[in-house]
Chain A
Amino acid sequence: MTDKRGWRRLLRVAFTKRHAAELVDDELRFHTESLVERLVAEGKSEDEARRDVMKRFDSYQRTRTAMKRQVGRRVFTPGWRLMLDGLGQDIRVGWRQYTRRPGFATMTVLTLGLGIGASTTMFSVVNGVLLDPLPYPNSDRLVYIATTAGGHQYASTTAPEFMHLRDRTRSLERLVAFRRAIFDVQLPTGPERFAVADVTEDYFDVFGIAPLQGRAFTADDYRADASPVALLSHTAWQRHWGGDPGVLGTVVTGTRRLVSERESYTVIGIVPPDSTSAADILTPIRIEGTEWESDIHFANFIFRSVGRLRPGSSIDEVRVEAATVSAALAARHPTQYSGRWRDGRNLSVTHLLDEVVDDYRSSILVLFGATMVLFAIALANVSGLLLARALDQRQEMAMRWALGAGRFRIFRLLVTETTTLSLLGSGLGFFISYLCVRLLQTLGPTQLPRLGNLTPDLRVVSFAVGIALVSGVICAFVSMPSASRSGRGPIAGGTERAGGPKDPARLRGFLVTAQVALAVVLLVGAGLLSKSLLELQDVDPGIDVDGLFVMPIMPTGLDLRGGDATVEAYTTFFGDVVRKIRSIPGVASASWAPDLPLYGRQMSAPAHPEETVEDETSPVMGFHPVGPNYFETTGLPVLSGRGITWEDDAANVRVAVVNEVAAEQLWPSRDPLGRNIHIWGTWFNVVGVVGRVHYGLSGDAEPEIYVPAMQETRLNLQQRVVVRSSLPLESLAPSLRQAVWEVNPTIPVPNMEAIEDRYSVVLQEPRFYVVLMSAFSLAALLLTLAGIYGLMSYWLSMRTSEVGIRMALGARAGHVLWLVSRQALLLLLVGLAVGLGLAAASSRLLDAILFAVSTLDLQTFGVVAGGVAAIALLACLVPAARVTRTDPAKALRCE
């Protein structure tokens, strides 16, 4: 419509409806009067002429009413309303279609609902975990600094690297560092273990947060002579002080891990929840001056460092600056920048959000991809249904074409229909995803960050609506060619046979092939993950986890300067604790160690046998200073020689027990007993060999060396006391705690657990992937089967009479069965082959989350191929067999 008309219409709005109606009468009057005049001039009487004129209308009154309605609408409805009227009409048409075929509509909405529900669920996870900004102002400007060296990416950086970057950077507004440590606090309710974060100046400014109560640290708090102050975390404040604001100004006293001295801090504020430091208490630390540049600081990767980009600066500028700082430091401290572990040492700069979610990005994206594949299958399924319906409707479409509906008009009708359906599906899907997200939040692995953050925000809603609209348009496109082609067909009569060169059933066949292929991809993924989980569950940790309990203890108040005094203090403390525990009724044995199988390795060392000298190729082995009776307690079998006893103390010769793997590496096919190994400048005499163990749930069993804790000066400050008992944890816990407190009442005893429980926590994440992937692929399989079954039934209905004739002429049932199903079988084979190819190409994506399973695991591929073939065959043959059993006479009458 032109602008000119638009103006005119606006002016016309001033006219009344009645006036518009009068104009219609004027127009018709001119018509009739002119004709009457003409007829009278031809010699008819006026009455006769009037009757003749009225006869020219099939109904004068109807014409008049229709015109008036049209005029009224034109005058009072703007253009967009007219368009919407058309839309309303289309929706009404669509609604009539579906009330006529409720089964079709229900199937479509359910199928799309399933596809959209699954993909929206995983999009919620992508959105909440990967995309949602961190809860800080302008959080996209926060960057995370860590060290890379010797091809290894550290999780954190060191004080000197932080200090120099902070002092030289121009692209960062501010840069802070913080280290976490343990702070055992004496509260009126008993000793509690706090995580303390020592933070440098500007911590609150970098994150852009303000304390909930009280004040932040000021420059004065960082002066060497300042009185010590601290801020409590919201969580600690709630848990231990019940949110009492009276805590401000009080003094918190405890013992720090790093200095092992009693320290007291005056509480000056409360940190808001969700702070990145994840500490219970914040204290100031000043990193300034050359004393922070010693070798020990260069080797201490304990500082996490976060910077805020200056507005207008890019992260790449920070990277350039970081490289410059590293180069300058390398020139001043060459020993810290060369050698096996130090080559190419530099600082990496990433967005803080990436640092938080990096470990989970690929697995979440893979799962999201899986749901999009499921969605594609659902879409193919619905397209198949639409194609079938288009065939049913070819007469109706032919009628629309004949009545002058244009290609666009028909397309719009189709789009309106399919979009209405897909929006309904989207509504259902959104509901499904809401429930699923809730389920994920309860079942999801506790390690997954920000899982509690999943709220259906605008982005999630847009996603659900967006893919619904896209699917509406795609479905309309898919069914459009058949709709327009059938338009060229006859209006009435004539059932066309399937299989012609332009038959939409071909497209349907292609869709089914695609569904089979995609379902195979998902099933292979689920298969690989399941096998990986089975492998994980089958991993023998090497110890007897049943009835084994662990209690992490960090003694405080001991002389921890290292050397013999420390060893003695530790031996005395843990010896006392273990002896007390062993006297508890129901406890079989107890010992201690810095680490345990399944809990990760604490220390590794390069070791070489006496026959060789240490060089770069010396194997690195796990190094574990453990208490007496460690092997008896954990159930790690002693294969030959002896274990570690109370006699292996500082007064006796240094001994070691190696595991099978270490023995094989150090002395291949020779008896290790009595031989010597060299570790960190000390010789150890091998007195025993123990079995294989897994410290983490990944890879093969690794070489491990056990030495008596009572002889070792390199002690971990935290030790794990292990206890073997037939009692349940609940009844054991109080007496264990009491045993520790009898030795030293100021030591907190947190996180006591049964090792079995640890096992299930470790398996939580892989199990989570398996459950999701299996659910998605099962849904995919069901949809695909429905697609195969539908296509098969359609083809068979086309050929019922043919089957009848063949059967009547004496064809054998088996032959007919082959005849009617070979086309479908071919599609299945092609789909299967393509699917296996796609799966082989894409299963690499799973590599990071697979354990001990190749991404091209033949067994999995075989089982999936066989399974899908068998099930699909069934979906094919069941309807086919039914047709061959029908009475030929009945089949012949079908047409």
Chain B
Amino acid sequence: MPRKTASVMYGNLDLIIMHTLHKTGPSHGLGLIDAIEAGSEGAMRVEDGALYRALHRLEADGFLEAEWRISDKNRKAKFYALTSSGEAELKRAQREWQRHTEVVSKVLGVGWGTSK
């Protein structure tokens, strides 16, 4: 079911971004794409446009803050970092995800069609 996986991932892109930033520390967009790909051992490729839109949305929500820095190749790049409310949101989203997957796997274990 490749399609469904994609929608689940899309719905949880925010969680993935915040989790990665939490692990790697401040990073620019390209760095995040690389880190996500590396973290999932190549299983997950985030679409570039979706990532930037998500970054900007998260910044607007106050979960991320951004700063212009000079990259290792001496270019001006926008670096993102988790804010304290971002950290809190990440914890909450992780718990929610945990619960969600538990429920889903329980349901999948029993099967969809059995509830009368």
Hey, which bits of chain A sit against chain B, CB under 8 A?
1-2, 5, 23, 26-28, 30-31, 33-35, 37, 56-60, 62-63, 66-67, 70-71, 73-74, 82, 402-404, 406, 488, 490, 494, 496-497, 499-500
Contacts and interface: CB of A to CB of B under 8 A. Distances in A.
Contact of B60 (A26, A58, A60, A73): A73
B72 to A, nearest CB: 10
Contact of A30 (B49, B59, B76, B83): B76
Contacts of B57: 70
A70 B56 contact: yes
Given A67-B53, A73-B60, A74-B60, A56 B47 contact: yes
A63 B52 CA distance: 8
Given A27-B29, A27-B78, A404-B11, A2 B49 contact: no
Contacts of A2: 62, 83-85
Interface residues of B, number: 37
Interface of B: 7-8, 10-12, 14, 28-30, 47-50, 52-53, 56-57, 59-60, 62, 65, 68, 71, 73, 75-78, 83-85, 96, 103, 107, 112, 115-116
Contacts of B116: 497, 499-500
26 contacts: A1-B62, A2-B62, A5-B65, A26-B78, A27-B77, A30-B75, A30-B78, A31-B48, A31-B52, A35-B30, A37-B73, A57-B48, A58-B49, A58-B50, A59-B49, A63-B48, A66-B53, A66-B56, A67-B52, A67-B53, A67-B56, A70-B53, A74-B56, A74-B59, A403-B7, A500-B115
Contacts of B14: 404
B52 A26 contact: no
B49 A57 contact: yes
A789 B12 CA distance: 43
Given A2-B84, A58-B49, A63-B52, A30 B71 contact: yes
A324 to B, nearest CB: 65
A788 to B, nearest CB: 25
Contacts of A57: 47-49
Given A2-B85, A490-B112, A62 B65 contact: no
B89 to A, nearest CB: 10
Contacts of A33: 75
Contacts of A1: 62, 85
Contacts of A60: 49
Given A34-B73, A497-B116, 20 more contacts: A2-B83, A2-B85, A5-B65, A23-B68, A23-B78, A27-B28, A27-B78, A30-B28, A31-B48, A34-B30, A34-B71, A34-B75, A35-B30, A56-B48, A62-B49, A66-B49, A402-B8, A404-B12, A488-B103, A500-B116
Contacts of B56: 66-67, 70-71, 74
Contacts of B11: 402-404
Nearest to A82: B60
A490 B107 CA distance: 11
Nearest to A67: B56
B75 A5 contact: no
Contact of B29 (A5, A31, A404): A31
Nearest to B59: A74
A500 B114 CA distance: 11
Contact of B115 (A26, A82, A403, A496): A496
Top 10 nearest A-B pairs by Cβ distance? A63-B49, A1-B62, A404-B11, A57-B49, A70-B56, A27-B78, A56-B48, A30-B77, A74-B60, A57-B48
Contacts of A34: 30, 71, 73, 75
B37 to A, nearest CB: 12
Contacts of B7: 402-403
A360 to B, nearest CB: 55
A890 to B, nearest CB: 25
B8 to A, nearest CB: 7
The CB with the most chain B CB atoms within 10 A, among A57, A404, A494, is that of A404
Nearest to B77: A30
Contacts of A28: 52
The CB with the most chain B CB atoms within 10 A, among A2, A26, A27, is that of A27
A620 to B, nearest CB: 75
The CB with the most chain A CB atoms within 10 A, among B10, B14, B77, is that of B77
Contacts of B96: 406
Nearest to A75: B60
Contacts of B84: 2
Nearest to A38: B30
Contacts of A500: 115-116
Contacts of A499: 116
Nearest to B49: A63
A34 B78 CA distance: 13
A3 to B, nearest CB: 11
A58 B68 CA distance: 26
Contact of A488 (B59, B76, B83, B107): B107
A500 B112 CA distance: 14
A767 B82 CA distance: 71
Nearest to B63: A1
Contacts of A67: 52-53, 56
A490 B52 CA distance: 30
B99 to A, nearest CB: 11
Contacts of A406: 96
Nearest to B83: A2
A26 B30 contact: no
Nearest to A37: B73
Contacts of B52: 27-28, 31, 63, 67
Contacts of A37: 73
Contacts of B28: 27, 30-31
B79 to A, nearest CB: 10
A500 B113 CA distance: 13
Contacts of A82: 60
A26 B103 CA distance: 43
A329 to B, nearest CB: 73
Contact of A5 (B49, B53, B71, B83): B83
Contacts of A74: 56, 59-60
B74 to A, nearest CB: 11
A106 to B, nearest CB: 34
A501 to B, nearest CB: 9
A139 B62 CA distance: 53
A82 B115 CA distance: 41
Contacts of A494: 112
A56 B49 CA distance: 8
B105 to A, nearest CB: 13
A2 B52 CA distance: 22
Contacts of A5: 62, 65, 83
A27 B66 CA distance: 11
Contacts of A59: 49
Contacts of B65: 5
Contacts of B107: 488
A1 B59 CA distance: 10
Contacts of B48: 31, 56-57, 63
Nearest to B78: A27
A402 B49 CA distance: 21
A35 B48 CA distance: 11
A110 B8 CA distance: 41
B115 to A, nearest CB: 6
A66 B60 CA distance: 13
A403 B13 CA distance: 10
Given A2-B84, A2-B85, A26 B76 contact: yes
A31 to B, nearest CB: 5
Contacts of B78: 23, 26-27, 30
A866 to B, nearest CB: 38
B97 to A, nearest CB: 10
A496 B114 CA distance: 11
Nearest to A66: B53
Contacts of B112: 490, 494
Nearest to B31: A34
Contacts of B83: 2, 5
